[in-house]
Structure 1
Amino acid sequence: MSDQIVKRKGHNPKVAMVLSILFAGLGQLYNRRILKGIVFLIIQAAFLITFYNFINIGLWGIVTLGEIPKIDHSIFLLIQGLVSIIIVAFALALYFFNIVDARRDAIKLQEGAKIPTVTEAFKNAWDVGFPYILVMPGLVLLIFIVVLPLLFMVSLAFTDYNLYNSPPRNLLNWVGFDNFVNLVSVDIWQSTFFSVFSWTIVWTVVATTGQIVLGLFLALLVNDSRIKFKRFIRTFLILPWAVPAFVTILVFAAMFNDKFGAINKDILSQIGVMIPWMTDPFWAKIALISIQTWLGFPFVFALFTGVLQSISKDWYEAADVDGGTRFQKFRHITLPHVLYATAPLLIMQYAGNFNNFNIIYLFNDGGPAVRGQNAGGTDILISWVYDLTFTTNNYNMAAAISIIIGLLVSGFAFYQFRRTRSFKEEGNI
């Protein structure tokens, strides 16, 4: 027994690591983990035989984007290159695990640990790896359904892919940050970008704040003890939420029509006023903000109504004893409780409206047109991206703007969530 332990102390983890680096599985064979070593050997051999040509062409393609027009398709090469990078990342992770596993087993053997039998090794691997086995299919789908399209979009932002330079007739080229520079330097892109970006900010802040304020105001009114028929009123106020949004938007688009819409023809005409809701950018923006306030307040109203009913009346009674006014009770009791409970959802309202494509597209398709710009007067960033992609085929600029949108929304949401309790660990609240 002592000789066996001496031999194991002479077992060198560095040798196991070097062998695993040379070829996956050799370190496991050195550790006398025969089955595990054979599995790693088969996996690496199968990987090299199956994917060598695919990865070789993919990595060449993503670097060059092709060399012969009409034969090399830059888009296909780009996608193949991205898939190759993902496959290589998986392979490197498994390769690294193979090295770490060989070193860990070698250290255990050096310390005199018993070599497990095949049955014991399989049972241990199943116990440890069971959660990963369940997670892996979803992870793979997530990578190829979500991550791959995102990587493709990000890649297009650094190419010259547009209507006049599209494969297979032409080859794409990597242009670095030229598309981002053009957004803020070339006249038509600069004026359009800053105009659309400023309106997107105004739209997000005003429309979302409007629906939150209206929802809070109505929730406070309905929650008042003097109000009767509360159930009926709450049901009535939530009805706009029950109607599909696209139906409501199309109805409002007809109502705001300059010529035959009910708002101009039946209401404003009574006082001799006709407002160009669809042809003037300013009035179109007013209409859009009004519609979004109508669409968004029922959700906020329902949210605030539930929170208001959970606030203890003892707080208000104590405030009455101290001589607190209605405004003071609202400021120091109601509002903090409401915001405390709903802050993450309210943040998501702002983030959602920042990318609220439906209302802009369905109401007037981002119109009316504005001279000197390649976006409509009410286009926000996301609807502008849609037009650049499907109307003018400026894929590179659309991808660049999409990256900016993603960074803005994710940065704002992450910063605000960090300031609320939603991201704090239990016990540190």
Structure 2
Amino acid sequence: MSKQKMRHRPTVAIILSILFAGLGQLYNRRYVKGILFIVIEAVFLITFYNFLNIGLWGLITLGEIPMVDHSIFLLIQGLVSVIIIAFAAVLYYFNIIDARKDALRLQRGEPFPSLLESCGNVWDKGFPYVFVTPGLIMLLFVVVLPLLFMVSLAFTDYNLYNSPPRHLLHWVGFKNFKNLVSVPIWQDTFFSVFAWTIVWTIVATTLQIALGLFLAILVNDPRIKFKRFIRTVLILPWAVPAFVTILVFAAMFNDKFGAINRDILSAFGVMIPWMTDPFWTKVALILIQTWLGFPFVFALFTGVLQSISRDWYEAAEMDGATRWQKFRSITLPHVLYATAPLLIMQYAGNFNNFNIIYLFNDGGPAVRGQNAGGTDILISWVYDLTFTTNNYNMAAAISIIIGLIVSGFALYQFRRTRSFKEEGNI
């Protein structure tokens, strides 16, 4: 190995690449690649310097002069700047790694591939990334940017009485989260709505799963005739758009002219305040959700039950097992093993089931001393805070809590299911 090759240091190439993209490649005598990196960084700095400078300044200060600086626009520009910088940092990292690899190759005396060979290698190895990158960029600006914007609002004082451009926003840290558990009106409302959200999620989802499982087992019984007709009828509620069903039920449960009170309960001298009493409104919502949700669970369980071998039940009968023992030891474990992830999604979906709460009674009836309705769940409360009272900061704070709860619950349950643990081993 020549002394010149031994004196070639990868550390110098790395330092030069850190100072300015492409310098490390020039040090490695990879002139075309080095010039290309230099041009890319120069164009990036010339094009985005002012945008990034204003964006980062706006992200930190949220503006300094009312009616001139718009805090929301500055916040969005700052978040876009962060995404652009993150994307540029990834490319810069690959520039450094490339310089280090070329320097090590030169130090070992290995020949460099020609320009055509390099282009061919880049195309072969980078082909998937070329087609993934446009989708990734769109994902960043369509999904990640709105999420970052929402999270950022949770740490500002953005509300109806402090809106740009007349007023400037300010970073307030965790003040909004503290207000949820310390300020009386927010505290009472938050814990009341949160408790009802948990009850709603558990009771409504469990009832629809239990009803779907019961009907699936019943229809799957060999003694039942006309199975196709019965299954078709039971799946019909799923075929009707949910919002149509909810509006129909809202009319049926109406206190004054609804069919349930006027035509059914009136025969027994009973008139239930379905729309004006929070307790009975909650009961009605749970019943409606059970009706809306059981067809999907029924169809899901029906398919799983048909895959269970009859030999297992015959062997259990020969051992003297009762119906309950066969259900507990054969049917239920098999059904839950095959459907656990989808059932978890049912719970997560009902936790954020905005449609039924909004369409049935708009989260009502009103509750004294609270700024949420008697049947509002967290997601419908966020909607009211955003579009009715314009408490954007509190709505963003609650949205973060919702996201953490749903993602944490789903991750925990997925990791505990056998279907997750044994994935790839079946």
TM-score range, shorter chain: over 0.9
Q: Which residue of 1 aligns with 2:242?
A: 245
Q: Which residue of 2 aligns with 1:29?
A: 26
Question: Could you say if the C-alpha distance between residues 79 and 283 of structure 1 is closer, same or farther in structure 2, counting changes exceeding 3 Å?
Answer: same
Q: Which residue of 1 aligns with 2:107?
A: 110
Provide the rounded CA distance (Å) in 2 between the counterparts of 1:188 and 1:315: 58
Per-residue CA deviations over 1:269-289 (Å, capped at 9, x if unaligned) read: 111111000000000000000
| Alignment counterpart, residue 11 of structure 2, candidates 6, 10, 14 | 14
Q: Which amino acid counterpart does residue 130 of structure 1 have in structure 2?
A: F
Q: Which residue of 2 aligns with 1:359?
A: 356
For the 8 Å contact 2:273–2:280, the answer to whether it is kept is: yes
Structure 1 residue ranges (4+ consecutive) displaced by more than 3 angstroms after TM superposition: 421-429
Q: Which residue of 1 aligns with 2:261?
A: 264
Q: Which residue of 2 aligns with 1:282?
A: 279
User: Tell me, what secondary structure is at the counterpart of 2:44?
Assistant: helix
- Is 1:60 the counterpart of 2:57 in the alignment? yes
Provide the rounded CA distance (Å) in 2 between the counterparts of 1:425 and 1:281: 44
Question: Could you say if the C-alpha distance between residues 279 and 145 of structure 1 is closer, same or farther in structure 2, counting changes exceeding 3 Å?
Answer: same
Per-residue CA deviations over 1:142-195 (Å, capped at 9, x if unaligned) read: 010000000000000000000000000000010000000000000000000000
| Alignment counterpart, residue 415 of structure 2, candidates 408, 413, 418 | 418
| TM-score of the aligned structures, taking structure 1 as reference length | 0.98
For the 8 Å contact 2:159–2:390, the answer to whether it is kept is: yes
Q: Which residue of 1 aligns with 2:208?
A: 211
- Is 1:180 the counterpart of 2:155 in the alignment? no
User: Tell me, what secondary structure is at the counterpart of 2:373?
Assistant: coil
Q: Which residue of 1 aligns with 2:290?
A: 293
User: Tell me, what secondary structure is at the counterpart of 1:275?
Assistant: coil
Q: Which residue of 2 aligns with 1:221?
A: 218
Question: Could you say if the C-alpha distance between residues 279 and 59 of structure 1 is closer, same or farther in structure 2, counting changes exceeding 3 Å?
Answer: same
Provide the rounded CA distance (Å) in 2 between the counterparts of 1:374 and 1:32: 69
The offset of 1:428, in angstroms, is 5.3
User: Tell me, what secondary structure is at the counterpart of 1:310?
Assistant: coil
| Alignment counterpart, residue 200 of structure 1, candidates 174, 193, 197 | 197
Q: Which amino acid counterpart does residue 74 of structure 2 have in structure 1?
A: L
- Is 1:48 the counterpart of 2:49 in the alignment? no
Provide the rounded CA distance (Å) in 2 between the counterparts of 1:308 and 1:400: 43
- Is 1:156 the counterpart of 2:153 in the alignment? yes
| Alignment counterpart, residue 39 of structure 1, candidates 30, 36, 39 | 36
Provide the rounded CA distance (Å) in 2 between the counterparts of 1:9 and 1:191: 73
Provide the rounded CA distance (Å) in 2 between the counterparts of 1:82 and 1:335: 49
**Residue ranges of structure 2 left out of the alignment (5+ in a row):** none
| Residue pairs, 1:362-401, within 5 angstroms | 362-401=359-398
Q: Which amino acid counterpart does residue 256 of structure 1 have in structure 2?
A: F
Q: Which residue of 2 aligns with 1:255?
A: 252
Q: Which residue of 2 aligns with 1:332?
A: 329
Q: Which residue of 2 aligns with 1:85?
A: 82
Provide the rounded CA distance (Å) in 1 between the counterparts of 2:310 and 2:49: 71
Per-residue CA deviations over 1:190-236 (Å, capped at 9, x if unaligned) read: 00000000000000000000000000000010000100000000000
**Residue ranges of structure 1 left out of the alignment (5+ in a row):** none
Provide the rounded CA distance (Å) in 2 between the counterparts of 1:351 and 1:133: 35
Per-residue CA deviations over 1:263-304 (Å, capped at 9, x if unaligned) read: 001100111111000000000000000000000000000000
Q: Which residue of 1 aligns with 2:343?
A: 346
Q: Which amino acid counterpart does residue 221 of structure 1 have in structure 2?
A: L
Per-residue CA deviations over 1:301-337 (Å, capped at 9, x if unaligned) read: 0000000010001110111011000000000000000
Question: Could you say if the C-alpha distance between residues 423 and 335 of structure 1 is closer, same or farther in structure 2, counting changes exceeding 3 Å?
Answer: closer
- Is 1:131 the counterpart of 2:128 in the alignment? yes
The offset of 1:10, in angstroms, is 2.7
Q: Which residue of 2 aligns with 1:140?
A: 137
Provide the rounded CA distance (Å) in 2 between the counterparts of 1:298 and 1:163: 43
Provide the rounded CA distance (Å) in 2 between the counterparts of 1:279 and 1:118: 77
Q: Which amino acid counterpart does residue 379 of structure 1 have in structure 2?
A: D
Greater mean alpha carbon deviation, residues 112-121 or residues 405-414: 112-121
Provide the rounded CA distance (Å) in 2 between the counterparts of 1:425 and 1:122: 42
The offset of 1:425, in angstroms, is 6.4
The offset of 1:427, in angstroms, is 5.0
Per-residue CA deviations over 1:334-392 (Å, capped at 9, x if unaligned) read: 00000000000000000000000000000010000000000000000000000000000
Q: Which amino acid counterpart does residue 145 of structure 1 have in structure 2?
A: V
User: Tell me, what secondary structure is at the counterpart of 1:167?
Assistant: coil
User: Tell me, what secondary structure is at the counterpart of 1:173?
Assistant: coil
The offset of 1:92, in angstroms, is 1.1
The offset of 1:12, in angstroms, is 1.2
Provide the rounded CA distance (Å) in 2 between the counterparts of 1:428 and 1:302: 27
Q: Which amino acid counterpart does residue 48 of structure 1 have in structure 2?
A: L
Q: Which residue of 1 aligns with 2:399?
A: 402
Q: Which amino acid counterpart does residue 142 of structure 1 have in structure 2?
A: L
User: Tell me, what secondary structure is at the counterpart of 2:306?
Assistant: helix
- Is 1:101 the counterpart of 2:98 in the alignment? yes
- Is 1:319 the counterpart of 2:316 in the alignment? yes
